[in-house]
Structures are given as C-alpha cells and as structure tokens.
Amino acid sequence: MATKKRVRRPAKAAARRGSARKAARKTAAPGSDRRDKATIRKLRQELAAALKRIDELQASADTDFLLGIPNRRGFEHELQRAVAYIKRYRASGALILLDVDRLKPINDAFGHAAGDQVLKAIADALTRQVRASDVVGRLGGDEFALLLWNLSETDARAKAAVLEADIDGLAFVFDGRSIAAGASAGVTILGPHSDAATALEEADRAMYVRKAQRRHEMPATGRANKTFVQAANPQKRGHA
C-alpha cells in the first residue's frame, strides 16, 4: 500500500516562522527597540560633535592665532580659489603684498609684546580699508597680503598707496616714546591667465622694489597727521 506524501504549505510555514521570530524578540530582548534608537541618537550626536570639531581645527589651521585673519595657508587657499574663479568667469582682481617697515627694531627695543601691538593695529587698518568680499591675510612675520576683487591696475595701485599712507599715519607710544612703523606695498593684477604661485612671486618682487624706493623718499610729514596708539603695558626687551 503506497504511503501518502505529506505536502507542507509554504504560506503556513512562513507564517509560523514569522510568529516564532516575533516571539523570540519579545522573549529575548524586551525594550531593545528603545535602546537601539537611543544608541543611534547618541551616535549621531557624537558624529555631529566630531564633525564640528574637525571644522574648528580646520579653521584654526588656516587662521593666524594673534590677529584672527587667514595665515599663509589660509590665504593661499583663498588665492587659489580666487584664481580658479577668475579663470572660469573671466573676472579680475588684484593681489597686494605689504611688508611692515621697522618691525624688527621695535621688537628689539621694546619686546615682542610691542611688536604684536603694531601688527594688530596694522591688521585693523587694512581690514577697515577693504570690502567684505576681499581677503586680508598674514603670510608670516611682518608680511601681509590682500586679495581685492574687480580692480583695474590703476585702482589697485591707488589702493596700495592708500594702505601705505594709513599705516604710515599710525604712531605707537612705548616707554613714553612715539614710534612709527610704516609699510611698503607691491601690486600684481589677477586675470584669466594668472597662477597663484606666480602672482605671489610677482607681488613680492614689486614689494621689494617699492621698499627700495621708499628708502629714498622723504619721511611722512608731521606728528599732527599720525594716529597714536597707546601700548597696553608692553613687555620689556628680552620677553616673548
């Protein structure tokens, strides 16, 4: 006598397996969904905090600690982006390199705190003279750089002269003595065929030519034209 073959019904079998899994979840880990969601929220918060910290570190790596403006790394990034934009959209701009005169003698005579006061005042003077879209940076030591948008060569040279005059007009009082700094500016124009590294070299050469010219010029006229900056307890020579 033939044995009747038993046939499993797929639908019922799947339903039984699904019920078994649900029962296992309820039995093995009551409240696990809530814990999983809490863990996910915590991980998302930690990730957001880590990304924020990365942004902060990136910004600090591109910023001059003393002056709060782009350092060489940050300014070169801005210049590279500007050159790419100028090439793509046929825009124009100007690069001005500015070297502070007599900063080393001020550091030597009155200490680096006095030199820092000079640098801060110069950074403020430069920032007041540019638009929000322009960039002022410190390349290091006594050298600043400005990225100015949509200026002709004539306008850029006129702006450089204004910047020199503003800095020449600053005077500082250290140990009861009135001290002036001054600055020399070199200009190069940015166009569709510009290169960031070459532009920096050209502006640097122009700045040294201008520095040599200024050595043979008469000094700025009198104390009445100067804006005095009183030093706030500069450290004495020999202290950093």
Q: Look at 38-47, 93-102, 132-141, 158-167 and tell me which has the smallest mean pLDDT.
A: 38-47
User: Rounded to the nearest 10 degrees, what angle do helices 103-110 and 112-128 cross at?
Assistant: 140
Q: Look at 43-47, 115-119, 161-165, 215-219 and tell me which has the smallest mean pLDDT.
A: 215-219
How much is the pLDDT for 223? Answer: 41
Q: Both tokens of residue 2?
A: 């033939």
pLDDT surpassing 60 at residue 233: no
Classify residue 3: in a domain, yes or no: no
Are both 78 and 117 inside the same structural domain?
A: yes
Spatial CA neighbour of 69 closest among 110, 125, 150:
125
Are both 53 and 132 inside the same structural domain?
A: no
Are both 19 and 106 inside the same structural domain?
A: no
- 142 a catalytic residue: yes
Are both 54 and 129 inside the same structural domain?
A: no
Are both 198 and 131 inside the same structural domain?
A: yes
Are both 101 and 53 inside the same structural domain?
A: no
pLDDT surpassing 60 at residue 43: yes
Are both 99 and 218 inside the same structural domain?
A: yes
Catalytic residue among 62, 134, 142, 168: 142
Structural domain count of the chain: 2
Classify residue 239: in a domain, yes or no: no
CB neighbours of residue 85 within 10 Å = 14
